[in-house]
Amino acid sequence: MTETHSQKNCLAGKILRVDLTTQKTWTEDTLPYALKSLGGRGINSMIMVNEIPPGTRWDDPENLVCVGAGLLSGTIAPGACRVDISTINVFSGGKGSANVGGFFGPEMKYAGYDTIIISGKSPKPVYLYIRDAVVEIRDAAGLWGLTTFQAEDWLRETIGDPQIKTALIGPSGENRVRGSAVIVDASRAAGGSGVGCVMGDKKLKAIAVRGTGKIDVADPVRFMAAIAQCARQCAQEPNVVPMRKSLTNFYSNPDFEGWDRIMVVRNGQDEFWDRDKRIELMNQETGAPSMRKGMRACYVCPTGCSSYMEIDRGRYQGTRGEGFWVNTIMGHAARFDISDPEAVVHAWILTNELGLDTDYVSAGLAWVFECFEKGLITKADTDGLELSWGDGDALVEMIKKLAYRQGIGDLLADGVLEAARKIGGEAEYLLVHMKGQPSIEPFRVPKGWGLAVATSPIGGRHLRGSTQGSQRFGPRPRPGKFGATEYDDQAEGVYWQARTKELEDNLGICNYVGTWSGGNYLTPANFAELVSSAAGFDVTEHDLMDQYACVGRNLEKAFNTLLTDLGRKDDLPPERFRKEQVRSGPNKGFIADEDQYNRMLSEFYQLWGWDRETGLQTRSCLERLGLNDVADKLAARGRLIDQ
């Protein structure tokens, strides 16, 4: 990496600091952070490691909510819209992070801010209003209690600007439900880690931002040449057309291989979903696709994969909103064995409207359904509600109970792992979770996918290295065996994909135009050219993959080690998947073999330069990355391998 940089670059230039306790705001320069960690999640991780001391809990005033736009967000780089929201994970006590698209990230940068760091707690509900240099902490009495859809309408009407961009919480976040998300632009969820719960704990209902500035690039001619190359690649990608029809378009074919690779049925009882139910859910004339009224795109996206849905018939007539994803099928459909398309679409949109993390709802409530099936809870616990597999109406009612802490929802709201321990019996065994966070992910069939989910520093999410998509990677094959069901050579692929996703989150580029989604989409070589021409400090593909990406992942790993006792045992798949085989279908008999997973773990740790046996970081690894101070912090806690 060349250390020189241009005065003109793609940074907005400032980090905005907000202390909700003192009601003070101030700024600092972004560049020193960007030179070390680019932007987005990388800057967030660096600030958290530097400023949150061991012993801090998620609900302490000292916890931070870090909102970081990607380095390239706000430019015309394809898919450069993403923003990372990081905080202490309400499930694990370690690193929490959720990434989201839309238009909020670019708007932050047009207002002049690359990152917003929120500390302290407000004694009453407030929202943060930002218009360029104007930053105000405003009373949110009129907002508190509103759904996410209502809250965005209220903000736009009250502020008097229909173009305002929002990141806000719903009733679930206000009620400090652990599985709460931050909803951006009333349509996209920053889910996972309970980021919405932390905002609710701080009494911060929303951030509303409007920017009238612009983003420069260091070398416009070189940058536009890089953009032209990216555009050519995206146009040649075979996945563009089906993704523009909807990410779920592939699943309109009941024999598509994805059905038998990533669907976990009835809370993990099986990983094969009945073909007739697939057809009922995805029928073009009567199923979920018939409710799709159009496709929408995030800022500067060359694909546009988001479905706008309307239910114009039946008991949920009038439901409308954006989003019907593969996760909808994995979670709200297969996990509950629900093939009723109206119920699935309504439940999904309701989840967003109430501000819940959809994966938490799917995994957590499917566990409740199985507890009911096995008699661990009864109608006396559910206020008379019968929780039967395939019953979409029951799912809808449970979503409401969870968001508003009604009845059993109050027990679940404080975390389903905690609820399982209170229920007792085999309840904890039945709960599918990683590092305390309920997970919808498969582990028994796609082994690289499972390894990535198991080792994710934020727990239970697949977008931290899960191998997916084409084996092609531009002109050369990708490392590892993408999508394969065997154990051999998986660690290398997950290591590669984890680093590319780190880069995408730091740059603000969506993985649906990045390395995850096809061989002609953007590559680390494209990233290097975009960064060099836009940011003004020259980087190579090697710099990005072996320095910046490794810094980011190691910062998250170190944060977990400093604040928690997470270790190797927490990087194994859920116990149920290590003991129970797939019951039916083409993958009958598959299991997450613990010995084989341990072998993959050792290989994975070694690739990162961590200790093979414990998974702890080594001094040599951290010092190579310039993280000497982090190594010293870990050594002081006795959690560093000194080699």
Three-state secondary structure string covering 361-399: HHHHHHHHHHHHHCCCCCCCCCCCCCCCCCCHHHHHHHH
Angle at 474 between CA 469 and CA 479, to 5 degrees: 60
Q: Where in the chain is the domain with CATH 3.60.9.10?
A: 14-210
Q: Which residue has the tokens 């953009």?
A: 227
pLDDT digits (tens, 9 = 90+) for 535-574: 999 999 999 999 999 999 999 999 999 999 999 999 999 9
Q: Which fold, 14-210?
A: Aldehyde Ferredoxin Oxidoreductase;  A, domain 1 (3.60.9)
Structure confidence at residue 250 (pLDDT): 85
Rounded CA-CA distance 594/155 in Å is: 51
pLDDT digits (tens, 9 = 90+) for 567-611: 999 999 999 999 999 999 999 999 999 999 999 999 999 999 999
* Whether residue 4 has pLDDT greater than 80: no
> Which residue did the predictor score with more confidence, 272 or 473?
272
Task: Name 96's bridge partners.
Answer: 87
Structure confidence at residue 468 (pLDDT): 65
Residue 413, CA distances (Å) to 57, 90, 110, 361, 397 in order = 17, 11, 37, 11, 15
Structure confidence at residue 476 (pLDDT): 54
Count the Cβ atoms, other than its own, within 10 Å of residue 238.
12
pTM, rounded to two decimals: 0.96
| 161's tokens | 């600007």
pLDDT digits (tens, 9 = 90+) for 217-236: 999 999 999 999 999 999 98
Count the Cβ atoms, other than its own, within 10 Å of residue 162.
8
pLDDT digits (tens, 9 = 90+) for 293-311: 999 999 999 988 899 999 9
Rounded CA-CA distance 401/398 in Å is: 5
What average pLDDT does range 96-109 have in this prediction?
97
| 462's tokens | 């697949």
> What's at 208, amino acid-wise?
A
> Which residue did the predictor score with more confidence, 177 or 303?
177
Q: What's the full length of the chain, in residues?
A: 643
Task: Name 270's bridge partners.
Answer: 265
For strand 204-210 and strand 126-131, is the pairing parallel, antiparallel, or unpaired? Answer: parallel
* Whether residue 349 has pLDDT greater than 80: yes
Provide, rounded to the nearest whole percent, the portion of the chain with pLDDT above 70. Answer: 97
Task: Name 79's bridge partners.
Answer: none
Residue 511, CA distances (Å) to 466, 505, 612 in order = 12, 8, 29
Rounded CA-CA distance 376/103 in Å is: 44
* Mean pLDDT, the chain, integer: 95
> What's at 66, amino acid-wise?
C
Q: What is the DSSP letter of 250?
A: G
Which of 387, 379, 382 shows the shortest CA–CA distance to 266? 387
Contact of 616 with 561, CB cutoff 8 Å: yes
For strand 113-119 and strand 126-131, is the pairing parallel, antiparallel, or unpaired? Answer: unpaired
Structure confidence at residue 116 (pLDDT): 98
Torsion of CA 273, 275, 277, 281, to 10 degrees: 100
Q: Which residue has the tokens 């114009």?
A: 312
Residue 17: helix, strand or coil by DSSP? Answer: strand
Structure confidence at residue 14 (pLDDT): 98
Longest CA pairwise span in the chain (Å): 68
Q: Which residue has the tokens 């905002």?
A: 199
Rounded CA-CA distance 198/60 in Å is: 10
> Which residue did the predictor score with more confidence, 343 or 470?
343
Q: Where in the chain is the domain with CATH 1.10.569.10?
A: 247-438
Structure confidence at residue 478 (pLDDT): 64
- Confidence class of residue 16 from pLDDT cuts 50, 70 and 90? very high
Domain 247-438, CATH among 3.40.50.1460, 3.40.50.300, 1.10.569.10, 1.10.287.540 = 1.10.569.10
Of 37-51, 158-172, 516-530, the range with the lowest mean pLDDT is 516-530
